[in-house]
Amino acid sequence: MGGLLFGADHLVKKIRGDGVIRVPEEVSEMTQAQLAATWGRPPTESELKAHLQRWVNEEALFREGLRLGLERGDALIRERVTLKTLNVIQLGTSVPEPTAEQLATWYGVHRLRYEQPPRLHLQVLQADPRTPPSAAALSRTLEQLNTKSVQPKDLGQLAIYQAIPMQELALRYSEDFVKQAMQSVPHVWSAYRSGDTALFLNLDRIQPGFKPDFEEIKARVAEDWRQDDLQKKLNQRVADLVRQHRVEYPESVGK
């Protein structure tokens, strides 16, 4: 057995005031099982105690380290204690089954997790923003593009999108731009103008979206609801713990 075999268990123990090191039953059973598997026979009492002495030594050193404050500033110990504590809190947190109303409401808010929105294949050309084009210039550029008398990349900044979700396209440009793109005639350049910005778009095709049947994914939605509810409760428990302390920040952070 390695010297750090039971190190994870140590991290969540507090220093006991009675000065007694109590070897947990599960540690004894685990050690017996490991020795029996290695030796092909159960260990004697003296052999077992000799191997448990390593755990006792580690426990004594761990408590002394805590007493001296040696765990402070150790990022590894801090992370492991935090994870252990979260696990303990999670095991003590109950999550009920969602009601039909709760599930329907939650699904309505998070339906995009399960739906596949329409995706667009298109080219978008942005004219030089330093020279806002006139109506005549827009018409001339459209004629050049649709007659293919000039390469699009020679007229400005060209972006080519393959299967971009319509929501992402709206974030890059605007909702009105997406509406125009959805209604565009495929393989025909059209102009879109917003203020001093001129865009030209050429729709290749629209990839249809997909909306699943709720009953078919109900079990998955319920599990996602439970995980979401558990996370909210864990966040609340952590917030409650923080409120038990006064938090002070360095002066560089401010008040």
Q: What is the mean pLDDT of each run of 10 residues along the chain (255 residues)?
A: 42 52 87 92 89 83 73 76 83 92 94 91 85 80 92 91 93 94 95 85 95 93 96 91 76 61
Residue 196 lies in a domain: yes
- Tokens 């191997």 belong to 51
CA torsion, points 40, 41, 42, 46, in degrees to nearest 10?
A: -110
Instruction: Note down the domain range covering 44.
Output: 7-72
What is the per-residue pLDDT for 253? 55
The pLDDT value given to residue 18: 57
Residue 175 lies in a domain: yes
Residue whose C-alpha is closest to residue 90's, from 250, 242, 244, 236: 236
What is the total count of domains within the chain?
2
Domain check: are 129 and 57 in the same one?
no
- Residue 57 lies inside a defined structural domain of this protein: yes
198 and 121, same structural domain?
yes
Boundary residue ending a domain (207, 234, 250): 207
Mark which of 40, 55, 72 sits at the end of a domain.
Answer: 72
Q: Which residues, 6+ apart, have CB-to-CB distance to 11 below 8 Å?
A: 77, 80, 81, 84
Do 67 and 121 lie in one domain? The reply is no
The verdict on 199 and 122 lying in the same domain is: yes
Does residue 59 fall inside a structural domain?
yes
| Residue closest to 217 by CA, chosen among 113, 109, 102 | 113
Predicted TM-score (pTM) of the model is 0.55
Task: Indicate whether 133 and 203 sit together in one domain.
Answer: yes
Q: Which two tokens stand for residue 129?
A: 């923003």
- Per-residue model confidence (pLDDT) at position 3: 41
Q: Is residue 91 part of a domain?
A: no
Q: Same structural domain for residues 124 and 202?
A: yes
Burial zone of 34 (CB within 10 Å; 0-12 exposed, 13-18 middle, 19+ buried): middle
Which of these, 183, 194, 191, lies nearest to 146 by C-alpha position? 191
